[in-house]
C-alpha cells in the first residue's frame, strides 16, 4: 500500500500559506520527486492571486472616490454611497445603508469577528467635504490629478476621503492575506460632518443601530503631520459660534457722538482681539499646543444702511454685528468664558447683546471634560501606539484636536474615540486651496491601518472591564 499524506501537510511545509491551509481539504498520493514538482507548480498557481495588488489600482480607486463631488451645501451622497457599497461587494464585506434623515445615507460595512461577543472596532469617516474656490486651485478640485511629484490634488484628499479609503484598502488586504479578526470590524461612512454632523453621526449615536454594533472603540479623523511623527488626538475643541450685536440711535454721518452702534462694536472687537493675542502668544512661545487654548476668529462684520448703489454714506447705522468662530478646549472653564463674553465682550451697559448660534458641550453631564483617556485605563491608546510601531511608524504625544470632529458624539456616550489620520511629512491642507496628498504617503497609511486593525482585532482583554460602555 502506498502511503498517503494530506495535501495540507505538504502545503504547510512548502508554502505555509494560512488561507490555503483552510481552503484545501483533499489528499494526494506522494510517490516520489516526480510527483512533487507538479504539486509545487499547483501551489504557486493557487497562491499567485494573493500576491500584492498593483499600487496603481489602489490609487485608481482612491481617485474614483475623490472625483465624486460631495461638497457642501449640495453633496452627491447617493453616488458616494453607491461607490462604497460597490467596494464592499468587491472585498467582500456585509453592508447596510441607513437614512436617519432623508437623502443622507450612513453606510455601514461589517467584517465579522470570530468572537462577536467582544466589543467591536469601528473605523469611521465622513463622506462630505467643504466647498472650493476653483479659481484658486492649480488643478480641478474634483479631478484627482496626480502631478509629476506624485501628489494627488483633490478636495477631500486629506479631509477625509483618504482615511475612509485607507480603512477599506487595509481590510481588503487583510482579507486577501487570510487574516481573521477576533473582534468584529465596522467601517462606517457618514454624511454631514462639515456642517456639524447632526444628521449623520449625531443620529447614529442616538440609534439602536449603534447599540447593536456593540462598539468598543472608534477611530475617526486626525490631522496631517509636517514631520515624521503621526498625530493622535484624544479630545477636541468645541465650537461656539458667537454673534455680538450693538445698537444705538442713528445719526448724521458728519456728527461726532458717544455710544454709536459701530463704536461700541469696535470696542468689543478690540477687547476680543487682546484676548485672542494672549492665547496665541502662548502657542507661539511653545507653552501650549494649539488645541489647548481658546481660539477666536472673526467670521463676519455687518453694518451700514444699504442703498441701490451700495450704502448710504451720510448716515451712521443704528445696528452693527460681528460673528466669531470660538473654539473651546475640554480643559477650559466654559462658565468663566461665558461670563467673559457677557461682561467684557458684549456688556449690556454699551447697548450690546450676544447669541451663541452653536454651543457644543465642553463637559459631559457629569461635569467632566469630554476626552478619551490615554493612560492605562484605556488599552486602546497603547494598542494604537503598538500598531503604528509594528508598521515602522512613529507617533507623537497625545493631542487635543484644534477643531471639531464627529468623535464628540461617541465620546459623549462614554466610548473611547481617537482621531488618527496616517499622513506624516505632509503639509496641513484641510479646507485649504490645492489640498493634496502624496500617493506614496497614502499607500503607506494603508499599511499602518493594516497593522492597527490586526492589533485591535486580535486583542481579547477582559470584556467585563470595558466599563466605558456603561453609558450606552
Enumerate the domain spans of the chain.
4-50, 55-236+369-469, 239-328+332-359
Q: Which three cell numbers stand for residue 233?
A: 488626538
| Sequence-distant (≥ 6) Cβ neighbours of residue 35 within 8 angstroms | 28, 29
Asked if 193 is an active-site residue, the reply is yes
- Reply yes or no on whether 82 is catalytic: no
pLDDT of res. 32: 42
The CA distance from 216 to 120, in Å, is 5
Grid cell locating 40: 509545487
From the centroid of its chain, how far is CA 42? 44
Whole-Å CA distances, 260 to 92, 308, 349: 66, 24, 13
Architecture of domain 239-328+332-359: 2-Layer Sandwich (3.30)
Residue 366 known to bind ligand: no
Among residues 53, 94, 192, 193, the one annotated as catalytic is 193
The reply, when asked if residue 53 is annotated as ligand binding, is no
User: Residue 319: its pLDDT value, please?
Assistant: 96
Q: Which three cell numbers stand for residue 194?
A: 462639515
Residue at grid coordinates 451663541? 356
How far apart are alpha carbons 280 and 278 in whole angstroms?
A: 6
pLDDT of 231: 98
pLDDT value of residue 466: 56
Q: Which CATH number fits domain 55-236+369-469: 3.40.50.880, 3.40.50.720, 3.40.630.10, 1.10.3720.10?
A: 3.40.630.10
Asked if residue 431 belongs to a known ligand binding site, the reply is yes
Could you tell me the three cell numbers for 419?
482621531
Q: How far apart are CA 62 and CA 117, in angstroms?
A: 33
Number of C-alpha atoms within 13 angstroms, CB side, residue 295?
A: 21
Which one of the listed residues 13, 53, 102, 128 is annotated catalytic? 128
Nearest to 122 by CA among 79, 183, 180, 166: 183
ω into 92 cis (within 30 of 0): yes
- Helices and strands: H and E segment counts in the chain: 13, 23
What is the model's pLDDT at position 463? 53
Angle made by CA atoms 216, 217, 218, in degrees to the nearest 5? 140
The annotation status of 385 as a binding-site residue, yes or no, is no
Residue 221, annotated ligand binder?
yes
Write down the H helix ranges in 324-378.
334-340
For each of the chain's 472 residues, which pLDDT tens digit applies? 444 444 444 334 434 444 333 343 333 333 444 444 444 444 444 444 456 789 999 999 999 999 999 999 999 999 999 999 999 999 999 999 999 999 999 999 999 999 999 999 999 999 999 999 999 999 999 999 999 999 999 999 999 999 999 999 999 999 999 999 999 999 999 999 999 999 999 999 999 999 999 999 999 999 999 999 999 999 999 999 999 999 998 989 898 888 899 999 999 999 999 999 999 999 999 999 999 999 999 999 999 999 999 999 999 999 999 999 999 999 999 999 999 999 999 999 999 999 999 999 999 988 899 999 999 999 999 999 999 999 999 999 999 999 999 999 999 999 999 999 999 999 999 999 999 999 999 999 999 999 999 999 999 986 555 544 444 4
Contact 167, 449 (CB under 8 A): yes
Joined grid coordinates for residue 39: 504539486
Question: 418 by DSSP, 3-state: which?
Answer: strand
Which string of DSSP letters, residue by residue, matches 161-228? Answer: HHHHHHHHHHHHHHHHHT---SS-EEEEEES-GGGTSTTTHHHHHHSHHHHHHTEEEEEE-----SSS
Strand partners, 400: 235
CA 110, distance to chain mean position in Å, is 19
Query: Alpha-carbon torsion 393, 399, 405, 409, what sign?
Result: positive
* Ramachandran category for residue 159: left, alpha or beta (phi over 0 → left; psi -120 to 50 → alpha): beta
Amino acid at each position: 500500500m502506498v502511503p498517503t499524506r494530506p495535501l495540507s501537510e505538504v502545503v504547510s511545509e512548502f508554502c505555509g500559506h494560512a488561507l490555503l491551509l483552510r481552503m484545501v481539504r483533499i489528499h494526494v498520493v506522494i510517490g516520489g520527486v516526480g510527483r512533487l514538482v507538479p504539486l509545487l507548480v499547483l501551489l504557486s498557481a493557487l497562491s499567485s492571486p494573493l500576491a500584492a495588488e498593483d499600487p496603481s489600482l489602489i490609487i485608481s480607486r482612491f481617485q474614483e472616490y475623490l472625483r465624486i463631488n460631495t461638497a457642501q451645501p449640495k453633496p452627491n451622497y447617493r453616488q458616494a454611497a453607491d461607490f462604497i457599497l460597490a467596494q464592499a461587494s468587491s472585498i467582500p464585506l456585509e453592508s447596510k445603508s441607513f437614512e436617519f434623515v432623508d437623502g443622507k445615507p450612513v453606510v455601514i460595512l461589517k467584517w465579522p469577528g470570530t468572537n462577536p461577543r467582544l466589543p467591536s472596532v469601528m473605523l469611521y469617516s465622513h463622506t462630505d467635504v467643504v466647498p472650493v474656490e476653483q479659481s484658486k486651485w492649480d488643478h480641478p478640485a474634483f479631478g484627482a490629478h496626480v502631478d509629476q511629484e506624485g501628489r494627488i490634488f483633490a478636495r477631500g484628499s486629506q479631509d477625509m476621503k483618504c482615511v475612509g479609503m485607507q480603512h477599506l484598502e487595509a481590510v481588503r488586504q487583510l482579507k486577501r492575506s487570510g487574516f481573521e479578526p477576533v473582534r468584529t470590524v465596522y467601517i462606517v461612512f457618514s454624511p454631514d460632518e462639515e456642517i456639524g454632523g447632526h444628521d449623520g453621526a449625531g443620529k447614529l449615536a442616538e440609534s439602536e443601530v449603534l447599540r447593536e454594533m456593540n462598539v468598543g472603540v472608534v477611530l475617526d479623523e486626525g490631522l496631517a503631520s509636517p514631520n515624521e511623527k503621526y498625530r493622535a488626538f484624544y479630545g477636541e475643541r468645541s465650537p461656539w459660534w458667537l454673534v455680538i450685536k450693538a445698537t444705538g440711535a442713528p445719526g448724521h454721518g458728519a456728527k461726532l457722538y458717544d455710544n454709536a452702534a459701530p463704536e461700541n462694536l469696535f470696542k468689543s472687537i478690540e477687547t476680543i482681539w487682546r484676548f485672542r493675542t494672549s492665547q496665541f502668544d502662548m502657542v507661539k512661545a511653545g507653552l501650549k499646543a494649539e488645541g489647548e487654548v481658546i481660539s477666536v476668529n472673526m467670521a463676519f462684520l455687518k453694518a451700514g444702511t444699504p442703498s441701490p448703489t451700495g450704502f448710504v454714506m451720510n448716515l451712521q447705522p443704528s445696528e452693527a454685528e460681528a460673528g466669531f468662530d470660538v473654539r473651546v478646549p475640554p480643559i477650559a472653564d466654559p462658565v468663566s468664558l461665558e461670563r467673559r463674553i457677557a461682561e467684557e465682550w458684549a456688556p449690556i451697559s454699551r447697548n450690546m447683546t450676544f447669541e451663541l448660534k452653536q454651543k457644543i458641550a465642553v463637559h459631559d453631564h457629569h461635569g467632566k471634560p469630554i476626552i478619551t483617556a490615554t493612560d492605562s485605563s484605556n488599552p486602546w491608546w497603547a494598542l494604537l501606539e503598538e500598531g503604528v510601531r509594528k508598521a515602522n511608524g512613529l507617533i507623537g504625544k497625545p493631542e487635543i484636536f484644534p477643531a471639531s470632529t464627529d468623535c464628540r458624539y461617541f465620546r459623549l456616550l462614554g466610548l473611547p474615540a481617537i482621531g488618527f489620520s496616517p499622513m506624516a511629512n505632509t503639509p496641513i491642507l484641510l479646507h485649504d486651496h490645492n489640498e493634496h496628498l502624496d500617493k506614496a504617503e497614502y499607500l503607506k497609511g494603508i499599511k499602518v491601518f493594516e497593522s492597527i486593525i490586526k492589533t485591535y482585532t486580535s486583542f481579547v482583554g477582559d470584556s467585563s472591564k470595558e466599563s466605558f460602555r456603561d453609558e450606552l
